[in-house]
Each structure stands twice: as structure tokens, then as C-alpha cells.
Structure 1
């Protein structure tokens, strides 16, 4: 369990908070490339770390990321016109380019005045189907961290954004909790559970397709430069072999989950204290389609996902669409990996009080997430380097493999020990 003080330190991410200080040291996904589909398309309103921004793609395809409210009189630029190389406020026509330079001030047409002004704009990168921004102190801007999915062929990669109305840490902890996979995702993880007969799910895209029926994995954890990695060791029919599922935690909110033929990179980006944008990037050595992943996650049902606004829409209004009759054959009465994960996180409330919980050994990775984040917060507050900052993360992955007795599990992903500054 966490104290109230430590829980607040990790969960609150607004300006001036300890958690917000940590978060503002990193580059963050702010939208998908698909949300700004072409030059001069409609701008996008973005909520990040308790503050409001606007993202736009100019006439030349360059992305700008700025404070939402116009520096002149505070009207929202998310309502503005994107045209002729910039974004123009509707109120008085002030126009800004992607770097924040003032291009025109029609109600005070003095070019010398415009040349002295600059709107609050932030560094931007577009990589791997995601638009990233850095909103922290300019003097502390780190190197941009690359992930393996950024080098995947576009046909071999799917990028999704799902906005969930709860604190980011609830979603992070769920993702680092290996023991929940065989229980919450029972129908996908352990087909045949109703008849007490385990048969492996043959779906090579499904990250919940476990290779073992063991619901009490033994966990081993190792700190790394990017945070930590853990292995969940599950029993197999051969006592000399364990199933080894290795998952990293990348400060401040990243993880990579293995499926038989693909990797799922998941980034739980805080919009504010009670809203999170989950970015899921699936990539591998074979083609994969968005429709396949949407269906796997259970997001092809309009009761759960508004694809236009990227919003997870299920709520307590209808008990998250849970079908009690279906529970005769379905463990949860829900359908899809993300539907189950998001529903559980939302069921904890918008911001969960961890001082009330009772932990067991299977929760070791969850405890380590908190410990690593608390240490990273303290380091950030002291202007020291938190874990993962500025690292090249392209060698960080995950695996679900067989491990012979006496073998070192760390050797399954030796690149994790070699991860270093970009």
C-alpha cells in the first residue's frame, strides 16, 4: 500500500506538483498522426498534464504545438483557421506559424510589433505514427527517445489512442500486473477454462494468449537504466522448464507486452489527474491491420469506443455493458482485452486510494512501479536525471519464451542491459 502523501505525489501531474515536475522532463505523445491527417486540416485541442494546448498541421505538413489560448485576448486557437503556413485566431485574426512566430496582427498592422512577439510554442517530433511534444523547461530538454516500433514498416504497425476517464497510474499498474492476465482475460488466456482443460489460444496477435495455465506466477525483478524489467515464471508440463514472460517498465508510464508474433507498446499519457490517453502501438514482422487490433481489443463496439474522438465511452450507466447472461461462458461478461482492462481501471474510480489495499507476492511488479516512480519524482525535484530520460529505447522489448532450469532469464532480452543514452 501507499501512504496518502505518496499516492498524491505519483497521481497529481499538474503544474507545480512533484509528479508534474517529473512528467515535464519527458517527451510525450500528444496525438496520433492520423488525428492531423493532412496539411491545413482542422486543429486539435489537446489536454496534457493538466494544461490545454492546440496541435495543427500547417500548409507544408509541419506540426505545431502551442498553448491553446491566443496570446492576444485568450480566444481558443482550436477554433482557428489553419491556412497559408500557420494558424489564425478567429477573434482578431492574429496568425502564428508552427514555431510560434507572429505572422500577422490585423488589428495592429505594424510588422515591427509582430516581429517582437512570439506565442508559447513547444518542440515537436513526429515519429512512428505519433506526434510527440516536450512542454518542460527549455534548458532541461532531453534527447528524443526512439522506440523499436518507430522503425517498423507502416503496414506492419498499428497506432491507436484510447482516452480513459481515470488516473494514468491505474492503467500503468494494470499493465505491469502479470497475474491478472490469466484471470481477467480468462477467455483469451485460458481457452477451455469452463471444462478445466487448458488449450493455448492460437491467435498470434493476442497479448493475452498465455502459454501456461499457472495463475500464480513467480516474479523476479531487475532494475535497468529505463526503469526495470520483470519476468513472470509460470509452470509447464515439464518441471525442468518454465514459461518466462518478460515485460519492461519504462519511466514514466511505458510498457511493452508480448504477443506470439507482435509487440504491444503501451504509453499511458496523463491528460490530467483523472483522465488518460492510452497509446497502443502494435508492430511485428508481418502485416497487421487496424481493424484486426480494434476487434481484438473489443473496441469495434460503439458502446465502448468513439473512434472519431478516441474516447472509451463505457460507464457505470449500464455497468460498462457487462452481459450477466454471457458470464455463463465468458469470465467477465465483457469482450476484448482493452475493454476488460479499461473497465477494471474505471471501476477503481477516477483516482484510486492505494492506502486501502492488501498486496500479495504476485503484486511485486506493481510495488516496484511505485518505488521507481517515487525515486524518479524525488530526483526530478532535485534537478537530477530520472530513469529513462533521453535514452535510446529501440532495444527495449518483451518476450514470452520457454526457460530451462538454471538459465538466466535476463539472457532472453540482453539488449535491456545495454540500453544507454541516445
Structure 2
């Protein structure tokens, strides 16, 4: 159980909060590249860690991230014209480049005025189908992160975004909670649950809910790493060929401050729970693997469809007027009355309210990874407040992996199956970012 003070520290992400200050030391996704499909296209009004921004792609295809309100008189640049190498405010025509350079001030024809000031602009990079921004203290940004999904052909990955009106931690905690997979996601994990039997799901190698065991009370082993921690969920497996007991294991890394990697039989699911504000979270899901992947199939298995979600505004919609969209007439053969992994996760997080009061919980052994996530986040905040680097700051993360359900002998070391997680601790190679 957390104290009220600890819960406040963990959930508040504004500029003047301990968690907000720590998170601002990292590169974070602010939108997908697909949301800016063309040069001089419509600008985006985006929020990140409680602050408003405008994101646009200029004539040369370069992405800019600026403070939303025009530095002249405070009008939103999200209404502006994107043209001829910059974004122009509708009010008085002031025009800004992607790096904040003032390109034009039609109502004040003084070149020296333009040259001595710049609009508040932020470091930005594109990689892995995402637009990343650094909005922390100037000159203190880490090297740009490198994840495995940034490598290989684009058809081997699929990027999805959804914006859910809840605090980021409710979603992040669900992502490191292995015991809920075989229960909440029964239809994806065990297609014969309604017959009180277990049947392994072997027809979808892109299914992150597929389990190899019907044991819903896994034993957890947790190990701290340079990037945060990883843990193994051990479930009772079928006997080995020699008749000795065996264990089915699944390994999940938690990369601070907002990332986890969920395994599927043939793919890795990189999930970022990025706070837009204290009560709205942008979830970025990147499915990535050694072969082409069908994005439409990922959307289907995630349950992302109308009326809950669309691929244009990416907002997740559900409310209590219709029981958050639950169809109870289907619950004889559908465990939840909902469809798909992410739909179920988002709806249950919303059912907790915008920010959960964790002082009222009653935790059990299966919640150990959730408890550890909170402890590591609080430790990272403490380090940063004391002038140290936060956990995972500046690491090369290319070798970090999850492990799908794998049967091992009881005395085998699970860590040997994810060696990259243990050696990840070196800083990223130098990689210059555009100011």
C-alpha cells in the first residue's frame, strides 16, 4: 500500500512536480510520424507532461515542436498556416521555423528584432515511426535512445497510438501485471476458458496474450537492471520429456520512466505510456519482429475499433452512460463483454477513475512487479531530486528484450535467455540532435 504522498509523487507530471522534472530528462514520443503525413500539412495540437505544444512538418519535411501559444500575443499556432518553410500565426502573420527562428513579422518590419529572439522550440527526432521530443532543461538532454524496433524494414513493424483519459501509472502498472493476462484477456489467452479447460493459443504468433499454461497465479522473480528491472512470471508447465517438473516462463522488461516490452510468440510489443497530462495518457504500441506484420491484425487483436477508437484522432472513447461499452449479452463465451487486449486494458483503467487512490489497495504476491515498479519510479525521482542521473538515463536499449512463454527445467537460469537485458548499461553512442 502506498501513502497518499507517494501516490501524489508518482502520478503528478507537471513542470513543478518531482515526477514531471524527472520525466523531462528523457526523450519521449509526442506523436506518430503517420500523424504528420506530408510537408506543409495540418499542424497538430499536442500535450506532453502537462504542457501544450504545436507539432508540424515544414516544407522540407523537417518536424518542429514549438510552444503552442505564439510568442507575440498568445494565439494558438495550432490554427496557423504551415507554408514556405515554417508555421505562420493567423493573428498578425508572425512566422516561425522548426527551430524557432523568427522568419517574418509583417506588422513589425525590423530585421534586428527578429534576429535577436527565437520562439520556444524543442529538440525533436523521428525514428521507429514516432516523433520524439525533449522538453527538459536545455543542454542536459541524454543521447537519443535506440530501441530494437528502430532497426529493420518498416514492414516488420506496426505503430499504433491511443489516448486514454486516465493517469499513465494505471496503464503502466497493468503492463507489468502478468497475473491478469490469463484472466482479463481470457479470450486471447485461452479460447476454451468457458469449458473450464486450458487450450494453448497457437494460431496467432502476433498475439501478446497467448499463454502456454493455464496457471493464473504465477510466481514472480524480479531483478533490477540499469534500465529499471525485468521480471519472470513462472507458471506450472507440462512435465519435461524425461518426466521431471518443468516451468513455463515469460520475461517482461520495465524500462523507466514509461516503457515496457510485452512478448508475443514471434514479435516484441514495445509499449510507451506517455503522460499528456495527469489524467490523459498517450499509449504508443510498436509491434516489431523478424518478419512482416499486418497492422490491421494488430489493431483487431487489440480491440481498437469504433466506437471506442479510430485511427485519425486516436482518442479512446468510453463512458458510463452505456457501462463503458460493455456488451453483457456476449459474456457466456466472451469473458469481459469487450473485444481485444488494449480495449480491455483501457476500459478497466478508466473504471478506476482518472487517478487511482492507491492507499485503499490490498496487494498480494502476484502484484510484486507492480509494487516494484512504484518503488523504482520513486527511486528514480529521488535520485534526480538529489542531483543524480535518473534510472535508464542515456542508455542504449537496442538489446533489451522480452521472452515469450518458454518451458525450462526447474534449475535453469531464466536470465541466460535474455542476455541483452543484463549487459544493457552502457551509454548510447553519440548522436547529434537538431536544436
Task: Bin the TM-score by the shorter chain.
Answer: over 0.9
Is 2:204 the partner of 1:198? no
Q: In 2, distance between residues paired with 1:187 and 1:152?
A: 32
Cα drift, residue 303 of structure 1: 1.3
Q: Tell me the SS of whatever aligns to 2:158.
A: strand
Residue in structure 1 matched with residue 215 of structure 2 by the alignment: 214
**Cα deviation 1:365-402 (Å, max 9, x = unaligned):** 00000000000011111221111111001101101222
Q: In 2, distance between residues paired with 1:402 and 1:390?
A: 34
Q: Tell me the SS of whatever aligns to 1:6.
A: helix
**Cα deviation 1:312-360 (Å, max 9, x = unaligned):** 1122221121111111111101110001000110000000000000000
**Cα deviation 1:230-281 (Å, max 9, x = unaligned):** 0000001215211110000000010000001111000000001000000000
Q: In 1, distance between residues paired with 2:371 and 2:197?
A: 33
1:147-296 to 2 correspondence within 5 Å?
Answer: 147-202=147-202, 203-238=204-239, 240-296=245-301
Q: In 2, distance between residues paired with 1:236 and 1:142?
A: 42
**Is the CA contact (8 Å cut-off) linking 1:306 and 1:313 kept in structure 2?**
no
TM-score with structure 2 length normalisation?
0.96
Q: Tell me the SS of whatever aligns to 1:328.
A: coil
Q: Tell me the SS of whatever aligns to 1:221.
A: strand
Q: In 2, distance between residues paired with 1:383 and 1:131?
A: 28
Is 2:356 the partner of 1:355? no
Residue in structure 1 matched with residue 99 of structure 2 by the alignment: 99
Residue in structure 1 matched with residue 134 of structure 2 by the alignment: 134
2:336 to 332, 339, 347: 332
Cα drift, residue 188 of structure 1: 1.2
1:294-313 to 2 correspondence within 5 Å?
Answer: 294-300=299-305, 302-313=306-317
Q: In 1, distance between residues paired with 2:358 and 2:230?
A: 23
Q: In 2, distance between residues paired with 1:163 and 1:342?
A: 9
Residue in structure 1 matched with residue 427 of structure 2 by the alignment: 421
Q: Tell me the SS of whatever aligns to 1:344.
A: helix
**Is the CA contact (8 Å cut-off) linking 1:55 and 1:63 kept in structure 2?**
yes
Cα drift, residue 289 of structure 1: 2.1
Is 2:387 the partner of 1:387? no
Q: In 1, distance between residues paired with 2:384 and 2:70?
A: 30
Q: In 1, distance between residues paired with 2:36 and 2:355?
A: 31
Residue in structure 1 matched with residue 119 of structure 2 by the alignment: 119
**Is the CA contact (8 Å cut-off) linking 2:237 and 2:407 kept in structure 1?**
no
Q: CA RMSD in A?
A: 0.8
Q: In 1, distance between residues paired with 2:415 and 2:2?
A: 29
1:367 to 366, 371, 376: 371
Name structure 2 gaps, 5 residues minimum.
Answer: 429-435
Q: In 2, distance between residues paired with 1:193 and 1:127?
A: 40
**Is the CA contact (8 Å cut-off) linking 1:142 and 1:389 kept in structure 2?**
yes
> What count of residue pairs does the alignment treat as equivalent?
421
Q: In 2, distance between residues paired with 1:188 and 1:45?
A: 35
Is 2:347 the partner of 1:343? yes
Residue in structure 2 matched with residue 47 of structure 1 by the alignment: 47
Residue in structure 1 matched with residue 433 of structure 2 by the alignment: none
Cα drift, residue 361 of structure 1: 0.4
**Is the CA contact (8 Å cut-off) linking 1:305 and 1:314 kept in structure 2?**
no
TM-score with structure 1 length normalisation?
0.99
Residue in structure 2 matched with residue 86 of structure 1 by the alignment: 86
Q: In 2, distance between residues paired with 1:382 and 1:153?
A: 42
Q: Tell me the SS of whatever aligns to 2:268.
A: strand
